[in-house]
Chain A
Amino acid sequence: MTGNIIQKQTKNIKNKNIKNIMIVGVGGQGTLLASRILGNALLAYGYDVRVSEVHGMSQRGGSVVTYVKYGEKVYSPVICRGEADIILAFEQLEAARWLSHLKKGGILITNTQRINPMPVVTGAAEYPGDITDKIKAKGISLIAADAQSLALSAGSEKTANVVLIGVMTKYLGVDDITVEKTIRELVPARFLDVNMKAYELGRNISAGSVK
C-alpha cells in the first residue's frame, strides 16, 4: 500500500546543463511569439523545453516577462535572480529592471528602443539616462541593437521581435536552421518574407553596428 515507487538510479542530472533565457519587454511588443519561436526551435533540436509566460496584462502595456529553459530535463519553468544565461530585452528600461536575473557572466542583449511607462509620462518618475552605458560599466557583456530600424528596413516595424531573435541565436549555440523552420511554422504565410528578412538582419548584425 505504498503508492507507485519509482526507484531511480541516481543519474545525477546536472542542473548546470540547463540553459536559461529570459525575454522581457512591454505588452504588445511580441515577446510571447518570440518565446514560442525559440521554445519550438529548441524542442526540434532535441532538448527538453519549458516556456513560461504570464498572460493577462500582456496587451495593456505592462512589463512582460517570459522564460525559456532547455536542457536534458527541465523542471521549474521559471528563472530567478542570478540564473539567466541570456536576457533578451525588447526595451531598455526592462533590461535595467530584469538585470538582477542575469547570471554572473551572462549576456544581456537589448533593443535600444525606449518606451516611457505611465509614471514617467505623468512626471511621477524619471526614466534613467544612459542605461546601456551604466550596465556595461558594471563589466556585464551587453549587446545593444536598434531592432526598430532593422525591422523597418526588413519591411515592417512589427518584426523587431524577430530581429532580436536573430541577434540572439548567435549566442545560443543552436543550429539556426531549426529557428528558421519554426519561424515558418509560427508566422502567418503572408508575413513570412518580412519576418525571414528581419531574422537574417538580426543574425547578421556585425560587430560594427552593435553599439
Chain B
Amino acid sequence: MKKIMLGNEAVARGLYEAGCRLVSSYPGTPSTEITEYAALYPEIYAEWAVNEKVALEVALGASVAGGRAFSCMKHVGLNVAADPLFISSYTGINGGLVIGVADDPGMHSSQNEQDSRHYAEAAKLPMIEPSDSAECLEFTKEAFELSELFNTPVILRLNTRVSHSQSVVETAERKETELKKYIKDPSKWVMIPANARPRHQVVEKRICDISDYAENCVFNKTEIHECTSIGIITAGPSYNYAREVFGDTVSYLKIGMVYPLPINTIREFASRFERVIVIEELDDIIESFCRQAGLTVEGKNLLPITGEFSQELLAEKILGKAADYDSFEEPVPPRPPVLCPGCPHRGVFYVFKKLKLYVSGDIGCYTLGAAPPLAAIDTTFCMGASVSALHGYNKILPENTKKSVAVIGDSTFMHSGITGLANIVYNKGISTVVVLDNRITGMTGHQENPCSGHTLKGESTAEIMPENIAYALGVKKERVVTVDPADLAEVEAALRRELEQDEPSVIVARRPCALLKYVKREAPYAVDREKCRSCRACMSIGCPCISITNGKAEINQSSCAGCALCMQLCRFDAIIGGNTQ
C-alpha cells in the first residue's frame, strides 16, 4: 500500500516487516518516533531503557538469545552507548542486530553536531544511510540481512531531515524469522583478552569482506546521465539537495553504505568524469577516502563542514547562483522556545535567580531556564553532567558550596545523574542537587521513564522515586526533601536550609508536567487594572501569558494555566481569579 510516512515511522515499519522482536532505546530528537511507532506493533516488544548504554546492551542480549533486535538513539546517545557498541563489534551477533543513530546537522535540537560515521570506522561496523522514507523502510529490512550475513551489528544512520520528513513508501507484510538457537561459546561471547585477541582478527577480516560486498550491494546506486562531465558522489539527504539543483545535468554515485566505502565503484565512477564533487554534510569522510585512494575530487573546498545543507546552499557554493527574494525590511524579533504556561520548572529557576546561585545545569526542558528573563543557568554540558560537574566545581571553590546547586530532570537523573550523586556521597562532597521531577521525559515530547509509572507500551509499572535512590546512595534521610515547585516560599525555604548544610542534600521538586493529559488545567488568573502598579514583578518569571498592555500587566486568558506563580509575586494583590475565586 502507498502512503506518506515520516522517515522514523518508515524505519519502524521496516523493523516490523523484518520480523524484529525487540526494540530498546532512549529518546532523543530526531530519533524518538522510531521507538514510539515500533511500540504500536503488538509483535514487537519495545521499551524505553534508562539510557543508551543500557538500551544497546538490552538489544545485544536479545541478539544473543537469537531474536532480531534494534536499539536507537540520537547522535550524542551513541557516545553513551559507545562501550557496548565497540564490544558488540568483537562478539558479533546471533539474531540480527541493528543500531539506529540520528545525526542533527544544523543542530535543530542538539548540543553539538558530531558526525556519527566516525563510530562506524572506529568500531569497524558497517553503516548504511537512507535518504528518504522509502529507503528508511527498505534499508532497515536489508540491514538485518546484512547483519546476519556477516555476523555483525549494523548501524543505520539517520538525520533530522530524513527522520522528520514524510515521503511515499510502499508497505509489505511482516516476515517472521526463526529464533536462532543460542549455543554456549565463550570464545565468541566472553570478551576477556584471550578470547578478544582472536576476535579482533575476525573483525578485521569481516570488514574486508564487507568492503568487497559493498561493491555490489543494494545500498549504493550509480545514476549515469548522458553527456555529463560532472560526477557527484553523495549520500543521505545531500543526494536530494543535489538532485534538485543539478537534475539530470550531472551523474550521481549515491552511497547508501557509508562504511565501508566501495573503492572500486568509486574509482570506476570517478574515471568517467572531468570533474568529481563529493557532497556530504558534516565531516569530509568520503572525500578523504577518495583522496587517500589517489583520486582528484572537490568537496569541502566548496562546501562547509558545519551546518545543514540545502539546495540553496549547493546552488550558491557550486554554481555561484544566489537566491532571488524579497525580505521584510525591519528587524524581526526572534521567537525562541520558552517554558510552557504552567510549567513546574519555572518557579524553581525564579528562586535560583533570586538567591543568586551558581547553577550547574543539565539537558531537558529546564535548559530553557538559561534564557532571559530567568537566565539562571551557568553551565550545560551533557546528560548527567550537572551533578558530577558541580562536585568538581565545589572541590575547587569550597566557599561557593553554599551558593551553588545542580539541577536535573527526572529522566536525566535516571539516565546518568545517579552515578554522579553516588560519586558526591562517596567522595565527601557537600553539593546540593535539585531534581525537577515532572514525572515524564518532557523535552523529547513526553516519553515514559522510570519515574512516570508507565511503560512505553502503556502498562502500569513500578514508579521509582528519586528520594529513595538518594537514601539508598547514603544521602541522610533529613537531607532529602520533597517540595512543590508551585509554592515559591516552600522552594526558597528548602534551598536556604539545604545550602547551609555541610553534607550532600537532594531536593526533589515534584509536580507533573503541565501538558500531561491527566493534569487538570486550573482556572486562569487575571489582572485587576486598578490595583496593578506596573512594577513588572510578574514579568520576571518569563511567562508567555503575561504582557504589559497600555501600561498595565495583562494575562492572556486562553493560555494561562493557572499556576499562580505571578499571583505569589504580586505585592499589590492585583492578580486575581484562578483557584482563589
Q: Which residues of A contact B (CB under 8 A)?
A: 1-13, 15, 26-27, 36, 39-40, 43, 48-57, 59-63, 74-78, 80-83, 93-94, 96-97, 99-104, 116-128, 131, 134-135, 138, 140, 157
Q: Which residues of B contact A (CB under 8 A)?
A: 2-4, 29-30, 32-33, 108-109, 132, 160-161, 164-168, 215-218, 220-226, 237, 239-241, 243-244, 247-248, 253, 262, 264-265, 268-269, 310-312, 323-340, 365, 368, 371-373, 443-445, 515, 539, 542, 544, 546-548, 558
List chain A residues, Cβ under 8 A from B264. 1-2
A63 and B332 CA atoms in complex are apart in Å by: 12
CB distance from B248 to the nearest CB of A (A): 5
Which DSSP category, helix, strand, loop or mixed, fits chain B's interface?
A: loop
Given contacts A2-B222, A81-B325, contact A62 B331 (CB under 8 A): no
A27 and B326 CA atoms in complex are apart in Å by: 25
List chain B residues, Cβ under 8 A from A9. 226
- Further 5 A-B residue pairs, CB within 8 A, beyond A3-B222, A56-B108, A122-B542: A2-B215, A51-B167, A57-B109, A60-B340, A118-B542
Contact B326 A117 (CB under 8 A): no
A52 and B108 CA atoms in complex are apart in Å by: 13
Residue among B4, B328, B444 making CB contact with A97, cutoff 8 Å: B328
List chain B residues, Cβ under 8 A from A96. 328, 330, 332
List chain A residues, Cβ under 8 A from B544. 61, 118, 121
Query: Which 9 residue pairs are nearest across A and B when measured between Cβ atoms?
Result: A56-B109, A80-B312, A62-B337, A82-B325, A125-B333, A60-B337, A117-B335, A77-B165, A75-B243
Contact A101 B335 (CB under 8 A): no
A43 and B1 CA atoms in complex are apart in Å by: 13
CB distance from A91 to the nearest CB of B (A): 9
List chain B residues, Cβ under 8 A from A5. 222, 224
A4 and B262 CA atoms in complex are apart in Å by: 12
Contact B248 A61 (CB under 8 A): no
List chain B residues, Cβ under 8 A from A123. 548
Contact A55 B539 (CB under 8 A): no
Contact B223 A49 (CB under 8 A): no
CB distance from A102 to the nearest CB of B (A): 7
A2 and B264 CA atoms in complex are apart in Å by: 7
Contact A80 B310 (CB under 8 A): yes
List chain A residues, Cβ under 8 A from B548. 123
List chain B residues, Cβ under 8 A from A80. 310-312, 323
A77 and B339 CA atoms in complex are apart in Å by: 29
List chain B residues, Cβ under 8 A from A63. 334-335
Given contacts A3-B215, A80-B323, A122-B542, contact A12 B248 (CB under 8 A): yes
Given contacts A55-B445, A81-B312, A82-B325, contact A4 B220 (CB under 8 A): yes
Contact B338 A138 (CB under 8 A): no
CB distance from B581 to the nearest CB of A (A): 23
Contact A56 B29 (CB under 8 A): yes
Residue among B161, B225, B336, B443 making CB contact with A52, cutoff 8 Å: B161
List chain B residues, Cβ under 8 A from A131. 328
Contact A55 B30 (CB under 8 A): yes
A57 and B367 CA atoms in complex are apart in Å by: 12
Complex: chain B residue closest to A25, CB-CB: B335
Complex: chain B residue closest to A9, CB-CB: B226
CB distance from A7 to the nearest CB of B (A): 6
